[in-house]
Amino acid sequence: MLLAGDIGGTKTNLAIFPLDREPRVPVAEGTFPSAQYKSLEALVAEFLARNNFTIERASFGIAGPVVAGQAKVTNLPWSMDEQRLQEALHIPIVHLLNDLDALAHGVPFLEPTDLYTLNEGKGVPDGTLAVIAPGTGLGEAFLTWEGDRYHPHPSEGGHTDFAPTNSSEMEMLRYLQGRFEHVSYEHVCSGIGLPNIYAYYKEIVALSEPTWLAAQLTTVSDLTPIIIATALDKTRGSELCRATLGTFVSILGAEAGNLALKVLANGGVYIGGGIPPRILPYFTNETFLRAFEAKGRFRQMLANIPVHIVTNPKLALLGAARHGLEG
């Protein structure tokens, strides 16, 4: 059997697949709150204790950089080492890869039912593909055609400098520079970034925060789910939350366009991560595509690029499994 994992700062998904078939339907799977475990070894050991299978190889997508078989989760105090995992879990072969590398491994195998298309475009056959994924953090990757298959390339592009595209975003950048040593796209385009946009609109723009919303936010450590739910609430809602989500989508569009230009993603752009599928109504207007295409002389080139939101929540897990089969 093959053990695949999608290791995130908020949750960890694990699944077991047979090694002799396409990794689409697992024989066992589980989801765990990452922060409640002291290490990946402890979490995986608990999962394997519940499932009596002989694991011959494992492949884990990690939300953080992977260098020489070692990794640290960006938003968790975990450190991982392939050799140590092999010994602790008694698995002969263990691979660690960046979570966006895992996500990218799954992109070529997506079905139409796994996608919500924002722009049909005119994709170039075997053209480069770009992947941008706002979840807890912001991940970016791309894939190039290597003659018989796509080869993924991970990156840490989400940590590049945030570049405002209008006067309001410029003011927000100045506000955030007073709070952080370095303001990256992840600071404004991720689960950990949404509260920063919210704070700007509340403290600097002075949009009103309803008392019932303020009371809700004081009871949680993660503000993002409440901000999203309130922005989507048609009965009660909040201008503050709607402005926050609208700006988030615009920034995501601008950075997706930046990534498409940098890697010449004429095959298509895929938007992954946990947030976009939850806020699809905010993609149905022109906010995202306007920001995506606003690249001056290259506007028409961007308009020709297919853009899809990945709605399959298990893509990174399936991609890690695909990587495990290839390894």
The pLDDT value recorded for residue 287 is 96
Domains and their CATH numbers in the chain: 2-105+315-326 (3.30.420.40), 114-311 (3.40.367.20)
If we measure between CA atoms, which residue out of 293, 300, 222, 234 comes closest to residue 34?
222
Of residues 162 and 20, the one with the higher pLDDT is 162
pLDDT band at 156 (very low <50, low <70, confident <90, very high): confident
If we measure between CA atoms, which residue out of 33, 1, 31 comes closest to residue 17?
1
The pLDDT value recorded for residue 154 is 85
- The percentage of the chain sitting over the pLDDT mark of 90, rounded to a whole number, equals 84
Model confidence pLDDT, tens digit, residues 165-179 = 999 999 999 999 999
Mean pLDDT of the chain: 94
> What CA–CA distance (Å, rounded) separates 169 from 182?
15
pLDDT band at 297 (very low <50, low <70, confident <90, very high): very high
pLDDT band at 48 (very low <50, low <70, confident <90, very high): very high
Model confidence pLDDT, tens digit, residues 80-117 = 999 999 999 999 999 999 888 999 999 999 999 999 99
If we measure between CA atoms, which residue out of 147, 77, 75, 142 comes closest to residue 103?
142
Task: Report the chain's terminal Cα–Cα distance, integer Å.
Answer: 14
Model confidence pLDDT, tens digit, residues 190-238 = 999 999 999 999 999 999 999 999 999 999 999 999 999 999 999 988 9
> What CA–CA distance (Å, rounded) separates 22 from 312?
16
Distance of CA 167 to the CA centre of its chain: 27
Strand (E) positions, the chain?
Answer: 2-7, 11-17, 28-33, 57-62, 66-67, 70-72, 79-81, 93-98, 115-119, 129-134, 138-145, 150-154, 268-271, 307-310
pLDDT band at 70 (very low <50, low <70, confident <90, very high): very high
The pLDDT value recorded for residue 129 is 98
In which region does residue 300 sit, left (phi positive, over 0), alpha (psi from -120 to 50) or beta (all else)? Answer: alpha
> What CA–CA distance (Å, rounded) separates 7 from 316?
9
Weakest mean pLDDT among 74-88, 155-169, 278-292: 74-88
If we measure between CA atoms, which residue out of 126, 135, 103 comes closest to residue 264?
126
> What CA–CA distance (Å, rounded) separates 287 from 149?
34
Distances in whole angstroms, Cα of residue 119 to Cα of each of 59, 165, 225, 261: 33, 22, 27, 16
Side chain identity at residue 220, one-letter code: V
Angle between helix axes 224-232 and 239-263 (nearest 10 degrees) is: 110
